[in-house]
Amino acid sequence: MTETNSARLVGTARPFRLGDCDIDPASCRVRNGGQVVKLQPQAVAVLSYLAARPGQVITRDEIESAVWEGRTVGYDALTGTMFKLRKALGDDPKSPRLIETISKRGYRLLTEPQPAAEPFDDLWTPEELPAAEPLPERGAPVAASEMAPSPPGDLLPASAPAGPGAERPSLLRHVRKRLAAPGYASVAALVALLVLLAAGIALRSMPQRAVVTAAPATAKSSIVVLPFRLLGEPAKGDYLADGLTDDLTTALAMRSDLLVISREAAFIYKGQEVSDTNLGARLDVRYVLRGTIHRGGTGLRINARLIDTAKGQHVWAEQFDGVELNDNIARRIVDSLIEHIAPRSQHAVDAPGLPTTRSPEAYDAFLAGRQHFYAYSNKSENEKARALFEQALQYDRDFALAHAMLGWTYVFEAMNGWSKDRASSLQKALANAQKAISINKDIPMTYFVTGMAYREQGEYIKALVEAQKAIALDPNYANGHVLVASLLYYTGRPEESIEPVRKAMRLNPHYPFNFNFHLGQAYFVLHRYDDAIKAFQAGIAKNPGAERLHVWLAAALAHAGRIEDAKWEVEQVLMLNPNFSLAAIAKVFPFKNKTDADHFLGGLRKAGFS
C-alpha cells in the first residue's frame, strides 16, 4: 500500500489493521486477539499519525507538534504514550513488530495499515470512552498535555461539573460524522478532531481547570540552568551532562540572593530549540546558563555561557579544559559567573548539598545512578540506580550523598510495594541516611530520606522532626514541605496539609508529578474527589507510567461515582503491574487512622480491584 493510500485509509477514521491488531480511531479502542483495550485520544492520535507514514522515521518533535498542537511537552508525555501503545498492541520494544524506536531520532512504523479484518461492534458508548487529558492554555509551557498550572499559582475551588454524560452523545455523533466525511480524509484532521473531542469530553464530564494566578515578580536575580549537552560518545548517555546540570542548579539555589528555576522546569526544555528571549518570558527569569561537555583524553572540556534574556546578550563565557570528573567543576563555574548576576553577600553560602568525593569513578557512578533514579518510573530503574550508588560507594565509602540516594532507593521500594521485606528495606534506608548524616550534617536530603523512612514505619513525630531539620537547612527545599504535608494527611489532619504542598509548588514552579500526587491524596482524604481527580490526572500527564497515580485516581473516580472511568484506570494499573493486589497495596500507605485506610481501600474495591 502506498504512503498516500495509507494516509487515506487512516484519515477516514475507519477501523484499520496493524499486524494482528485492529484499531478503531473513532472509539479509541484497540482489539488484540480477543481483548479490546481502550486508549486515550492522544495515544490513538499518535498511532494514527505513524500509520499514515509507514516506514518513515518520524521525529519526536514532529509527533509532539501534530498531536499536542505545538505545546511544549515533557519527555515523558510521548514516552508514556508509546509505552501504553506497545502494551495494547503486544509489541516488544526490544524486538518490535510494529513500532520501532530509532535512537536519537524518533519512531518508525514497521508495517503498512490494512482495512480491519472484522468490523468493530458499535462501541461508541459515551460513558465508556476514557477520560481525556485536559488541555493547557495555548502557549503555556507545560510538562505534558496537562492541567498543572504554569506559571505557578494556587488551585482554587472548581465549580461543580456537569452531570455524567451531559450533552456527550450529540457531541460524539457530530464528531463521528465529521471524521467519516470526505473532507476529513487527512491525518491532520483526525488528530485535530480527536483533540477537540478530548477537550469537549473534558469540559462536559470533568471539573473545570484550576484557575491560576501569576506569581508575583521577585526582586532577586533569577536564573535557569538548561541541561548541558554532551558532545560525542552517544553510547555514554546523557547522565554526565545531566549530573553537571543538577549540581550547578543545586550550587546556585543555595544562595539566598538568587531565585533559581528548578531542575524539573529546566529539563522540560532538554533537546528543544528555544530562544533565550523566549525562555526568559516563559520562565520569568533574567539569566540562562547553557553549556556543552566534551570528554577527551586529558579530561573534560566544558564550555559555559551566561545570557541576559532581557538584553539578548552574552554577559559571561568561559572554557574549562582538562577538568577532572568530580564535583569541583560545578563550584568553579558558579564562582566564576556569580559576580555577573549577584554581588557577593554575607548570605551567600558554599553549597553543602553538592556531592563531595575525590574519586572520579565514584562521581561517575553516582551521576549515572541519579539519572536512573530521577526517572521515578519503575522497579527496574530503581534497582539500576541502587546498583550504581553501591558502585560509587565501593570507590568512596565516605561519599555522603551516595549513601543518601542509596537510602532513598530503599524508601522508594517500600513506598511502591516492590519490596519482599518492607521492614528490612526501611531499615536499610535509615542506615544509609544516618551514615550520610554522620559524614556530612549539612545536606537537607539526608534528613528528608530519614523522615520518609520514619513516616513509612509509622513514626510520625520522628519523621516530622527530620523534615523540619531539612527545611531549617534550606527553607526553599520543596521536598521537605511535601514531606510535612504527607505527614499531616496520613495522621488525620488533611486540612492543614494543603498549604505545605502549595508552598512546595510555589518554590518549584514546574514541580514533578509526585507533588500532584500528594495534593491529590490530601484532597482524597478530605473527600474532595473532584479536586483529587484533577490533581491525579495532572500528575499522570507528567508521568504516565506512575503506577501510584493510576491507583489513587481509580479510587477517587470510583468514590465520585464514575465507575466506568475507574475501571479504565484499573486496566492501566494492571498493564503497568500485572501482579498488583489489594493485599500488597494495603501495606504501602501508612495511614494512622484505620478509617482513612478503609476509605482508600473501599474506593479501590469499588473500582474493581481484587
Over the stretch 13-68, which tens digit does the pLDDT of each residue have?
678 889 889 998 888 889 888 788 888 888 888 998 999 888 899 988 888 888 87
Picking from 138-152, 282-296, 493-507, which range would have the lowest pLDDT averaged per residue? 138-152
Other C-beta atoms closer than 10 Å to the C-beta of 358 total 14
pLDDT at 431 over 50: yes
Contact predicate 505/132, CB 8 Å: no
**Is the confidence at residue 156, as pLDDT, over 70?**
no
**Section 118-136 average pLDDT:** 44
Give how far the C-alpha of residue 461 lies from the chain's centroid of Cα atoms, to the nearest Å.
30
Q: Which range is least confidently modeled, 106-110, 138-142, 300-304, 520-524? A: 138-142
* Segment 563-578 mean pLDDT: 86
Question: What's the mean pLDDT in 600-605?
Answer: 96
* Average predicted confidence (pLDDT) for the chain: 76
Q: Which domains does the chain have, with CATH numbers?
A: 3-205 (1.10.10.10), 221-340 (3.40.50.10610)
Instruction: Look at residue 550 in the predicted model and tell me its pLDDT.
Output: 92
Q: What is the pLDDT of residues 248-269, one digit of tens each?
A: 887 787 676 778 887 777 887 8
Q: In terms of DSSP bridges, do strands 313-323 and 21-24 run parallel, antiparallel, or are they unpaired?
A: unpaired
Quote the percentage of the chain above a pLDDT of 90.
31
597 contacts 106 by C-beta, under 8 angstroms: no
- Reported as a single tens digit per residue, the pLDDT across 335-381 is 888 877 765 433 333 444 555 787 878 888 888 898 888 766 678 88
Q: For residues 555 and 568, which has the higher predicted lDDT (pLDDT)?
A: 555
Q: What is this structure's pTM?
A: 0.56
Q: What pLDDT was estimated at residue 199? A: 40
- The H or E element spanning position 194 is helix 187-205
Check if the beta carbon of residue 381 is closer than 8 Å to that of residue 83: no
Q: In this predicted structure, what is the pLDDT of residue 161?
A: 36
pLDDT tens digits for 432-455? Answer: 999 999 999 988 999 999 999 999
Please give the C-alpha separations between residue 415 and each of 376, 412, 423, in angstroms, as whole numbers.
12, 5, 11
CA end-to-end span of the chain: 46
Q: What is the pLDDT of residue 402?
A: 94
The more confidently predicted of residues 243 and 124 is: 243
Surface-to-core class of residue 304, CB atoms within 10 Å of its CB (0-12 exposed, 13-18 middle, 19+ buried): buried
Q: Which residues contact 274 (CB under 8 A, 6 or more apart)?
A: 72, 282
Q: CA–CA separation, 350 vs 331, rounded Å?
A: 8
